[in-house]
Amino acid sequence: MIRMESVTKRYPDGTKAVDRLSLEIPDGSITVLVGPSGCGKTTTLRMINRMVELSEGRILLDGADIRDQPVNALRRSMGYVIQNAGLFQHRTILDNIATVPRMLGWDRSRARKRATDLMERVGLDASLASRYPYQLSGGQQQRVGVARALAADPPVLLMDEPFSAVDPIVRKGLQTELLRIQAELGKTIVFVTHDIDEAIRIGDMIAVMRTGGELVQFAPPDELLSAPADAFIEDFLGNDRGIRRLSFFTSAGLELTTAPIVAIDATAKQVAERTTPDIPYLLVTDTDGKPLGWAEPKALTAGGGSVDRGALLSHGRPFEFGKESLRDALDCAVLSPTGWAVAVDAAGRVVGVTSQESIADAIRSAHAERGAQTAANDAKTAGPAGSGAAASAPGTGRTARAAR
Ligand SMILES: Nc1ncnc2c1ncn2[C@@H]1O[C@H](COP(=O)(O)OP(=O)(O)OP(=O)(O)O)[C@@H](O)[C@H]1O
Ligand SMILES: [Mg+2]
């Protein structure tokens, strides 16, 4: 665990970049430092691997003061990734990734083997191995940066705005990839960004800093969205935080019904059986159970057995039941012409449909349950409020990673 105790950084010109920052960074999870430009994020990150020496306070790594260990050993235990990847332009991709293992004295073939494995791990095609950085896209270069940082398998990964220079779609892909790699490797990651949406998407814990290098709130994303500490955080989070918080609630608890579902080859009798006064539309599936669209019952029987697929109303984007979040389910319902969302399994087959009202019920109970959970956790972690105590992660497993 990395523990920062009342850490202050004053640069030689007098700038106070970080002000009495206390933080407990839990092992095996992603902690995001977020805040406006100049609030001291990079300085904080660099103090952890001593690229910047702190002025006051101390930083402990697994209980030992980082100043008590040789700086080279410390840095080797911490991979470092920066914006634009910072690759060596005159070295091939493979040699870039193999840099640290080679420095550590690994023989050439072992280092190359490791680099090849890592290329696959970060989603880079092996054919890129002999290229030079300028021959790669920005997103590919960032992946190389991540692979290079992972090469010597350090327990800690420090990442400073690693995905800021790429466009939003590539960026989302890189975030997904990082979450996937993290699920496999379980590193202790400290990730700097000024983008609160990125922080919410990838962070297990989020530390929000403000100009002057002060920590304002340290909380899991779900809690940040539901209980921002002050107006600054509220403003920083933006408007639709209630909706965004729904992405932390699983759709597994939603009540589904299969009543209004018919297959495309259903007989008029079967259609009639499915039709009730409170269900004005039926969802039509193909013979494999995949959704085709909504139709009024009478439209289904009018053709005497043959349904005009082109006349079906769009079912919108279905959501994967139990895997996607209540936010996804709500989005499906809002975009659906019938107001009903379609739930599918991993293979895309319909498992049921759900109304906006049912989703609203599920949201209410999810809020109530989460509120009770938070209260229980708070009661458990509440202790004497020592002034020097580091802000720490209150309990684990509170965020529904799968829902993101
Ligand atoms: N070497 C330095 N000498 C003097 N002041 C510095 C130095 N490096 C950073 N600063 C100042 O310290 C403060 C924090 O800088 P830092 O780079 O940590 O911010 P940041 O949060 O990473 O910002 P950004 O989002 O723009 O990257 C800023 O006011 C900056 O001007
Ligand atoms: Mg910075």
Pocket probe mutation, ligand 1, options 7, 34, 39, 82, max atoms within 8 Å of Cβ: 39
pLDDT band at 381 (very low <50, low <70, confident <90, very high): low
d(CA 207, CA 188): 15
In a domain, 144, yes or no: yes
Q: What is the pLDDT of residue 130?
A: 95
Ligand 1 centre to CA of 210 (Å) is 12
pLDDT class of 278 with cuts at 50, 70, 90: confident
CA atoms within 13 A on the CB side of 86: 14
Q: How far is the CA of 261 from the centre of ligand 2 (A)?
A: 53
Residue 54: burial class (beta carbons within 10 Å; 0-12, 13-18, 19+): buried
Q: How many folded domains does the chain comprise?
A: 2
**Are 185 and 43 in a shared domain?**
yes
Same domain membership, residue 335 and residue 191 = no
Position 150 in a domain: yes
Q: Are residues 149 and 224 in the same domain?
A: yes
Question: Which pLDDT band holds residue 393 (cuts at 50, 70, 90)?
Answer: low
Confidence of residue 322 (pLDDT cuts 50, 70, 90): very high
State mean pLDDT over 55-70: 95
pLDDT in the model for residue 397: 37
Contact 260, 341 (CB under 8 A): no
Q: What is the CATH number of the domain that holds 146?
A: 3.40.50.300
State the CB neighbour count (10 A cutoff) for residue 259.
Answer: 15
364-379: per-residue pLDDT in tens? 988 888 877 777 776 7
> Do 276 and 235 share a structural domain?
no
Q: Which residues pair with 297 in a beta bridge?
A: none
Check pLDDT > 50 for residue 398. no
- Domain with 211, as residue range(s), is 2-239
Do residues 97 and 198 share a domain?
A: yes
Question: What is the arithmetic mean of pLDDT over 130-135?
Answer: 94
Bridge-partner residues for 7, per DSSP?
Answer: 21
Query: Do 110 and 163 reside in the same domain of the chain?
Result: yes
Q: Is 33 a pocket residue for ligand 1 (Cβ < 6 Å)?
A: no
What are the C-alpha distances in Å from 244 to residues 67, 173, 239? 41, 19, 9
Q: What is the DSSP letter of 288?
A: T
- Which atom in ligand 1 lies closest to the alpha carbon of residue 39? 21
Where among 213, 239, 265 does a domain terminate?
A: 239
Q: What is the CATH number of the domain that holds 345?
A: 3.10.580.10
Q: Which residues pair with 23 in a beta bridge?
A: 4, 391
pLDDT at residue 303, as a whole number = 64
Ligand nearest to the CA of 51: 1
Average pLDDT over residues 244-255: 92
- In this prediction, residue 58 has a pLDDT band, given cuts at 50, 70 and 90, of very high
Residue that finishes a domain, picked among 184, 204, 239: 239
| 159-169 tens-digit pLDDT | 999 988 888 88
Kindly state the percentage of the chain with pLDDT values over 90. 69
Q: Within 10 Å of residue 104's Cβ, how many Cβ atoms?
A: 11
Kindly state whether residues 220 and 260 are assigned to the same domain.
Answer: no
Q: Are residues 182 and 265 in the same domain?
A: no
- pLDDT value at residue 266: 85
pLDDT value, residue 267: 84
DSSP 57-118: EEEEETTEEGGGS-HHHHHHTEEEEETTTT--TTS-HHHHHTHHHHHTT--HHHHHHHHHHH
Q: Residues 49-64: what's their mean pLDDT?
A: 96
200-215 pLDDT, tens digit per residue, is: 999 999 999 999 999 9
Gap from CA of 349 to ligand 2 centroid (Å): 46
Question: Which of 239, 268, 301 is the C-terminal boundary of a domain?
Answer: 239
pTM as predicted: 0.84
In a domain, 379, yes or no: no
- What are the tens digits of pLDDT across the range 98-114? 998 998 899 999 999 99
Distance CA 32, CA 221 (A): 10
Residues 263 and 221 in one domain: no
> Within a domain: residue 388?
no
Residues 39 and 62 placed together within one structural domain of the fold: yes
Span from the CA of 42 to the centroid of ligand 1 (angstroms) = 7
pLDDT recorded at residue 84: 77
Q: Are residues 74 and 219 in the same domain?
A: yes
Residue 214 lies in a domain: yes
| Residue 244 forms part of a structural domain | no
> Mean pLDDT throughout 24-45?
96
Residue with the larger pLDDT of the pair 378 and 312? 312
Strand order in the sheet with 282-285: 261-263, 282-285, 291-295
390 is a domain residue: no
Per the prediction, the chain carries an average pLDDT of 89
DSSP, collapsed to helix, strand or coil, labels residue 228 as coil
Pair (230, 267) in one structural domain: no
Which residue puts its alpha carbon closest to atom 16 of ligand 1? 40
- The answer to whether residue 325 is domain-embedded is yes
> Does the pLDDT at position 400 exceed 50?
no
Distance (angstroms) between ligand 1 centre and the Cα of 25 equals 21
Q: Which ligand is nearest to the CA of 40?
A: 1
